[in-house]
Amino acid sequence: MKNVLIYFVGTAGSGKSYLTTTFQQWVHSQGFDTITVNLDPGVEYLSYSPDVDIRDWLRLSDIMKEQNLGPNGAQIACADMLALKINEVRDILETYQTDYILIDTPGQLELFTFRKSSSFIINQLGPEKSAMIFLFDPFISKSPTGFVSQMLMSATTQFRFPIPTINVLSKIDMLEEDELVTVMSWSEDPFLLQNVIIDENPNVQTNMNIELFRVLEDIGLYKGLIPTSAESSEGMADLYNAIQQVHFGGEDLESD
């Protein structure tokens, strides 16, 4: 497929679906075409109407009944079964003439990040023109150790999948102005974050966090955040430009 595929990844409640919705609306306003794909078989409500929906093939509630599984076991079963259906999904996606395919991944980060089936899915859909948007949850990120934890989760995701990753801070309207300024300063100045962590709790655990943080910096996985809001559409232009930079060297597509 020649379309640009954009995967929205993050912890449960980080705002993947709402960001998918807002980004699609913003891209449409710029004259480009997008379609949306829902890969979460257990989601009950979506803020957008997916053009391709894995629930047409798999539903969590059905798998729970058919295989006598609890929610967690059924989620794992669905994650693996999804890989068996991905060629059918790909065939449908290939019928669309569109600029961007926005892929909303399952709510539980570990189901997408740690299952081998996810690597298979990305490879089948085509990693060449793919990008991953990793959402930092604002409530977790506003503490120094929480921010580092989000960095580590993003780094783990990047290790798992060989496609460019763009880190965004979601739901910035849920933060106070001074909290937003602080979180963004940490994303832009690693030494500032390091000093704050030391001051916060100078114990063995903190020392370990600092060493891990330094490794991330040394290997180039420490990246600044793009602040976004699904409510106000703030950050959509910056997110779009980051995607263009990854795949087109900053050049814009020609809109209709």
Domain ranges of the chain: 4-248
Closest by CA to 85, choosing from 95, 97, 73, 77, is 77
pLDDT of residue 156: 87
Q: Which two tokens stand for residue 89?
A: 């999904």
Closest by CA to 210, choosing from 192, 184, 224, 223, is 192
pLDDT of residue 247: 76
pLDDT of residue 53: 95
Architecture of the domain defined by 4-248: 3-Layer(aba) Sandwich (3.40)
| Dist. CA 49–CA 3, nearest whole Å | 20
| Dist. CA 255–CA 42, nearest whole Å | 35
pLDDT of residue 204: 53
Local structure of 70: helix, strand or coil:
coil
Q: What global pTM score does this model have?
A: 0.90
pLDDT of residue 57: 92
> Which residues of the chain have a pLDDT value below 70?
1-2, 201-210, 213, 219-221, 248-256
pLDDT of residue 9: 95
pLDDT of residue 208: 61
pLDDT of residue 207: 63
- Find the radius of gyration of the CA atoms of the chain: 19
Q: Contact at 8 Å (CB) between 209 and 195? A: no
| Dist. CA 123–CA 161, nearest whole Å | 9
Give the helix/strand (H/E) hosting 227: strand 226-227
